[in-house]
A and B are shown apart, each in its own frame.
Chain A
Amino acid sequence: MKKGMVYIKNLMEVLILPIALLAVFAVATNGAFINSRILMTALRQSVMGTIVCLGLTLNLNMGMMNFAGGASMICGAVIGGNLAMATGSGVPGLIFFCLIIGVGLMTIQGGLYNAFRVPCVVLSLGLTMVYEAVPRIFYPEGCTLPIDMTKLALSPYCFIIMIVMCVAFYIITEYTVLGHNMKAIGENPAIAMGAGLNIDKVKLMSFILTGVFFSIGALMYVSKGSVDNVAAMGSMPVQMESFTGMFLGKFLGKNVNKAISVPVGVFSMKLLASGLTIVGLNSNMQTIIQGTILLVLLSYAANTGLIDKIKADREFAKMARARA
């Protein structure tokens, strides 16, 4: 029973922020904010962000920041969409092609990462430029899906896909050998290598899994209707959009699996965005508020222990002086 209680406490810790946001905006819009329509739309908008952020978290858990997420998603969406239309294979073909391209791109990145021993951040910058250029050679006009192929973005399917991906993430990180090895390497790579884990293989697998998440992200992106190619570094906003949500999730859900805290983080950010729109602040204010929340949250996370440390120090000093 005790274990259950602890689990509930951790879960509540994660849900504080969305509930707080709902309360704040409910007051600000005197009740107009609390309607299922807004919550459903925010949830639907957070599907793509959640899946992309879960992919990024797989890499971040091992200390690797990957900028090429947005670019590989656009590449998968454009080429996958066009191939599916060309072969007339409908939605199943779309899923198949998106997966092939997404996983392929990330496997290349994993291979280069292991071969060149270059930090993931630097390599992903170079690959972003390459992955943005590839779809423009084959399909410069981007990809526009006919209505019947965009079923996945509609409400029943997109939530199913999100839940499936979250459950998959949960199983991978908690119950598989690979997930466990990834956590061990992320914790302390030097000791993990000493303990006999094959770091290169595990990192390559983590890239491939990230590729799966990015390709499902690409699938949701193209199912929204149409995807245009981008110019230099144009894919950054696609990935950075739910970046704050990911860090929100990472820090809010310290002791609960990321499969729960990341979706909640991304959903909270979408709630914030629609809340601010209703209250009438334009999108510039939203970026400022999002950036400030990220900074406040990061400093809170970095100094959680500070208050009770100071209290304990003062307590210790008082006792020491008494005994002197």
Chain B
Amino acid sequence: MYEENLITARKICKSFGPTRALIDVDIDIRRGEIRGLIGENGSGKSTFSSLAAGLQKADSGEMYLKGEPYDPKDMVDAQRHGISMIVQEMGAIPGITVASNIFAGRLGEFSRFGILNWKKINKAADDVLADIGAPDIKGDMMTATLNFEDRKIVEIARAMSTNPDVLIIDETTTALAQKGRTIIYNLIRRMHEEDKAVFFISHDLDELMEVCNTITVLRDGVIIDTLDQDEMSVELMRKLMVGREINGEYYRADKDGTHGDEVLLKADRISVRPWFENISLEVHAGEILGFGGLSNSGMHEVGRALFGIDKVLTGSVTLPRKGKEITSPQAAVKNGMAYIPKDRDNESIVLTGSIANNILVPVWDKLEKAAGFIRPDEERKVVQEQIGKLGIKCRNGKQLVKELSGGNKQKVAFSKWLGNDCDVFIMDCPTRGIDIGVKVDMYRLMEQLKKEGKAIILISEELPELLGMSDRVLLFKDGVISKEFGREEQLGEHDVIEYII
């Protein structure tokens, strides 16, 4: 009864242990539709797309493809049914050739009695790559030699190699530069003209408005609303995503960029191969110093070098107040520095550890009594204090971090350092991929730390956030500081774009 729909989903439920990712989701995607799917992290959009693409199995509910029941065993089975997907994380295997990546799992079609015919495979790969508009990449190249963007294009080629009826794109464009984005937009246009469907998942609300003709909003695993072309607006979408009014200005209301004049952190002509050279900077008490630039501009690596994770080849990083030079993360932590890494799940928290253990890691040295004894009650006091202060939603301190939502995980990463009374904070994309509600809490926390006279380095790839929060901004391009300006100059995004592209 759903022939006219390409994909129909009825009452789809899916849960991972106690966390329920999707609850009674109903979706209809018709031919020629470019369906956008938005929602905060942990809202279930990636889960739904992986169900449709056969990566995971739904707990309950049915799915129909062109009217027939549809239950894919795995990704290859879904691809045979005409649904293919480009995953969010790295989907291309570096150690094998481009052609093997494109036809992974389906090499059987190119072999006679189990023996592979590499010539035929490479030729087919070249055709698909030319068809999607990337003739410079060849099938027999080794994937490891390609840069990050070309590897994503190989994944796109894999998805398009069976010219699917439905193409699912899961937050791929955020990592692509110009070349990749044009390829994606052409494909979407072509799918629309050929009366097929595209399922587009992205954080970039403006991009969605241009590309999609309908947008569905998901929150906490439940569908809130579906907007047509005319109903769409950024404010409405943001409101539906957060579920409550965003009152007042996100970022800091005040305009003054004043800060204390005592220098808390000083870098003198530091350089790390191959990322940056001769970077000098100072951060003052009560100042938010912003680092802006593209992801490969070297700003993230400067943050790591300031904290002592990567050894600096020239110059030095010093804490003038304590007169100490920073050469290792241990020295940094002992002298009151804090670092919140960009890759939250792999570098800032231990997913298999409990909330208490994650919070206490930098604090144990301070709590040690005679013979290294750490009193359990002191530990509990610190943990309860942090959970209360940041409002982490959890059963108790013993709950595992992997069961928390994205926002709560980030709160744990923050509270790790607040319990350690640090005075220099280095935050690398602290608000990336967390829901707006928690983002606002983070911004208020930064303001409060600024008032307490802490020095904060805010590294961010979102210009609005950078401009809204920083007292002073350093823009990075290809490992060099391309521009420095203060808050009082009130520069807008368009003024600074040419310094970072």
Contact = CB atoms under 8 A, between A and B. Distances in A.
Nearest to B100: A180
A313 B277 CA distance: 12
B114 A192 contact: no
B105 interface: yes
B116 A323 contact: no
B273 A312 contact: yes
Contacts of B76: 196
Nearest to A179: B116
A306 interface: no
A320 B277 contact: yes
Given A178-B114, A317-B271, A191 B105 contact: no
Interface in B99-139: 100-101, 104-108, 111, 114-116, 118
A187 B75 contact: no
B314 A321 contact: yes
Contacts of B55: 194
Contacts of A198: 74, 105
A292 to B, nearest CB: 31
A183 B144 CA distance: 14
Contact of A176 (B74, B104, B116): B116
A137 interface: no
Interface in A268-324: 312-313, 316-317, 319-321, 323-324
Interface stretch (B7-15, B84-92, B213-221): B84-92
A198 B104 CA distance: 11
A175 interface: yes
Given A176-B111, A180-B96, A317-B313, A194 B277 contact: no
B106 to A, nearest CB: 8
B93 to A, nearest CB: 5
A171 B54 CA distance: 32
Nearest to A315: B273
B313 A177 contact: no
Given A196-B79, A196-B105, A198-B74, A324 B314 contact: yes
Nearest to A174: B116
Main secondary structure on A side of the interface with B: helix
B92 A191 contact: yes
B314 A187 contact: no
Given A320-B277, A320-B278, A320-B314, A195 B115 contact: no
B481 to A, nearest CB: 14
Contacts of A191: 90-93
B74 A196 contact: yes
B94 interface: yes
Contacts of B77: 196
A316 B271 contact: yes
A103 to B, nearest CB: 18
Nearest to B84: A196
A112 interface: no
B75 A195 contact: yes
Interface in B61-81: 74-77, 79
A317 B311 CA distance: 12
Contacts of A197: 104-105
A195 B104 contact: yes
Given A176-B114, A187-B96, A324-B314, A192 B278 contact: no
B116 to A, nearest CB: 5
Contacts of B313: 313, 316-317, 320
A188 interface: yes
A177 B114 contact: yes
Contacts of A184: 93, 95-96, 100, 104
Q: For chain A, which range describes its interface: under 10, 10 to 19, 20 to 34, or 35 or more residues?
A: 20 to 34
A196 B75 contact: yes
A176 B116 CA distance: 6
B269 interface: yes
B105 A195 contact: yes
Contact of A177 (B116, B269, B274): B116
Contacts of B158: 195
A195 B96 contact: no
A175 B115 contact: yes
A321 B107 CA distance: 53
Nearest to B158: A195
B105 A175 contact: no
Contacts of B115: 171, 175-176
A194 B271 contact: no
B95 A196 contact: no
Nearest to A321: B314
Given A188-B93, A195-B101, A317-B313, A323 B79 contact: no
A195 B79 CA distance: 11
A323 B278 contact: yes
Contacts of A177: 107-108, 111, 114, 116
A64 B273 CA distance: 36
Interface string A183-213: 1100110011011111000000000000000
B169 to A, nearest CB: 15
A175 B120 CA distance: 13
A180 B107 contact: yes
Contacts of B95: 183-184, 187-188
Contacts of A195: 75, 91, 93, 101, 104-105, 158
Contacts of B87: 194
30 contacts: A175-B116, A175-B118, A176-B116, A177-B116, A180-B100, A180-B116, A181-B105, A184-B93, A184-B95, A184-B100, A187-B93, A187-B96, A188-B94, A192-B93, A192-B104, A194-B75, A195-B75, A195-B91, A195-B104, A195-B158, A196-B106, A197-B104, A197-B105, A316-B273, A317-B271, A317-B273, A317-B313, A320-B277, A320-B313, A320-B314
Given A181-B107, A317-B271, 16 more contacts: A177-B111, A177-B116, A178-B114, A187-B93, A187-B94, A188-B93, A191-B92, A195-B91, A195-B105, A196-B54, A196-B76, A196-B106, A197-B104, A316-B277, A316-B313, A317-B313
Q: 8 tightest A-B contacts by CB?
A: A196-B75, A196-B105, A187-B95, A196-B76, A195-B104, A317-B313, A316-B273, A320-B271
Interface of B: 54-55, 74-77, 79, 87, 90-96, 100-101, 104-108, 111, 114-116, 118, 158, 269, 271, 273-274, 277-278, 313-314
Interface of A: 171, 175-178, 180-181, 183-184, 187-188, 191-192, 194-198, 312-313, 316-317, 319-321, 323-324
